Amino acid sequence: MFVGEIRPLEQHFVATIGGNKNNAAGIGTVRWKWKDDNGKMHTYDIKNILFFPQSPINILSITEFAEQFGDDGGTGITTICRKSTFFWNGHKYSRTIIHPSSNLPEMPINDGFGLSALWSRIVSQQVDLHKHHCHCSAASHFPTNDLLHPVIDSKVRALSTDLASELIHIGETLLYLKDGRQTYVKVEDAFLDEKNIMKYKVTTADGTSLETTRETLRDPTTPDIAWIPSSVPELRLSLDLLMDDQLHSIANPVKLLPLQEEWIALHERLWHLPFSIMFCLVKAGFLPKKFTKLGNQLPPCVSCLFGQAHRKPWRSKSTANGSTSTLRGDQINCAGQTVGIVHLISAQPSLVPQNKGTLTRARIWAATIFGDYYTKFVMLPS
């Protein structure tokens, strides 16, 4: 950090809080480097810096820094609540500093590989660096014999499964869902932003680069009731879920009227907004009134048919003897004898209700509903 000679000082004390005096061991010139808000690195040699070997931090006098570079009117620092803005060189550059727990502006300096290089030099004095073929590895083995408690074993296996499902690997192809948009993306990189939030750099099929968080990425094999397939591979995967009459209507499309074609084009521009909501917008005057002429002659949307067909209807299926099947048995005579379970999965994660405390990044993705067929009691676990 110090460049050049550190000149000794005699009887040069600095008083701190409580009246304690600390004697400076010397004075010299330091070379400091820091980045501005745009990521540009700046290097300055600051003179007449006191050297305290036992001090864990470095303190910069903004007034002295401005005087040394002759920028009294363009160098300073402003503080607003929990952040400060350090500006210099005639307000040309600035650095925003978020206050840590000390509520003081602390800015990292001399970012780089200096500590790593120092460690490498120390290791090179004890290790032969000319050995090019060397491999070291470490692994943890979970015992599967009876010595491991069954409860602990189940927790360890569950934790391993959860971690494996949450990991996102570079080069992996995932489904990107945000603001009604669904598309396949390839993960290019993972990094921490200035707020220490994990983000991923992904690329779409047309080469568009995006930066997003874990909440918007999903494994394509995971079922999603709000996913509307639009590409040929996605439509091919959904063919088995369509009924015969739906396949017939798709294979034999009806020639649309100009007004129907305009309706479908507007429906796609609105990210497949439901027809009922679109008619409400027509009545409210947000969409052209001419669409009221369609009435019951609304054209079918192929993408919406695929998106809504996640399973074949079960209510109309017949049993082996020809009778209609039903989930509700004929012999239900007491509570708890037959309970129905419904799983709800949302493509758009919702917020977790909070009354106080630090806001969480957790989101609600799914819910399970239990309904008793005899008492009609419905329970939604929290």
If the chain, 382 residues long, is cut into consecutive pieces of 10 residues, what is the mean pLDDT of each piece?
81 68 83 86 88 79 88 89 88 88 80 61 61 46 45 46 60 77 82 82 87 81 56 67 71 80 90 88 90 86 75 55 64 84 80 79 83 85 67
For residues 224-237, one letter each, b for 16 or more C-beta atoms within 10 angstroms of the residue's C-beta and e for the rest, the string is: beebbbeeeebeee
pTM above threshold 0.75: no
Contact 210/204 with Cβ under 8 angstroms? yes
- Domain limits of the chain? 2-114, 149-222, 232-308, 323-382
Q: Which CATH architecture has domain 149-222?
A: Roll (2.30)
Contacts of residue 272, defined as CB under 8 A and 6 or more positions apart, other chains included, come to 180, 228, 301, 303, 304, 307
Sign of torsion over alpha carbons 309, 315, 316, 318: positive
The pLDDT value recorded for residue 146 is: 45
The pLDDT value recorded for residue 263 is: 92
Cα 327 to Cα 316, 320, 321: the distances in Å are 11, 16, 16
Q: How far apart are the first and last CA of the chain?
A: 56
